[in-house]
Amino acid sequence: MGEDETPLLSEFITESKTLELQGITLQIVVVRHALVQAVYRPGRLGRWVGLVLTLLGVGVALLGGPFRRVWVQLYSHGRGTIVQVWEDRYNLGWHR
């Protein structure tokens, strides 16, 4: 994690809620049963469009730095959950 080990957020959660943190929205959903998720897999055209968009996104990310990483950790505690969030900013050396 980052150099500073103090989390940006540390909160005790007992029910589903939305947390706002520096422009990031975290939606915490408390699930007390099995969760089934169905996903539609697009055909060949969708894969090629996705590949092109991914390559464009990587190009913009490499030119647009600096980069930001966010870690979210969840700990079960009693009848709720503790949510902790950290961030780290870095660049590849050519950004100011």
User: Per the structure block, which two tokens stand in for 86?
Assistant: 């950290």
Q: How far apart are CA 16 and CA 29, in angstroms?
A: 5
Which residue's entry shows tokens 């969030």?
85
Structure confidence at residue 55 (pLDDT): 92
Q: Is the pTM of this model over 0.85?
A: no
Q: How far apart are CA 73 and CA 80, in angstroms?
A: 14
**Cβ burial 18-46 (10 Å sphere, 16+ → b, else e):** eeeeeeeeeeeeeeeeeeeeeeeeeeeee
- Rounding to the nearest 10 degrees, give the CA dihedral for residues 50, 88, 63, 94: -150
**pLDDT tens-digit readout, 8-64:** 788 888 888 888 888 878 888 887 776 666 666 657 778 888 899 999 988 877 776
**Residue 83: how many CB atoms within 10 A of its CB?**
20
Structure confidence at residue 12 (pLDDT): 83
Structure confidence at residue 54 (pLDDT): 93
Structure confidence at residue 76 (pLDDT): 83
Structure confidence at residue 21 (pLDDT): 81
Structure confidence at residue 52 (pLDDT): 93
Q: Is residue 96's pLDDT more than 70?
A: no
Structure confidence at residue 3 (pLDDT): 62
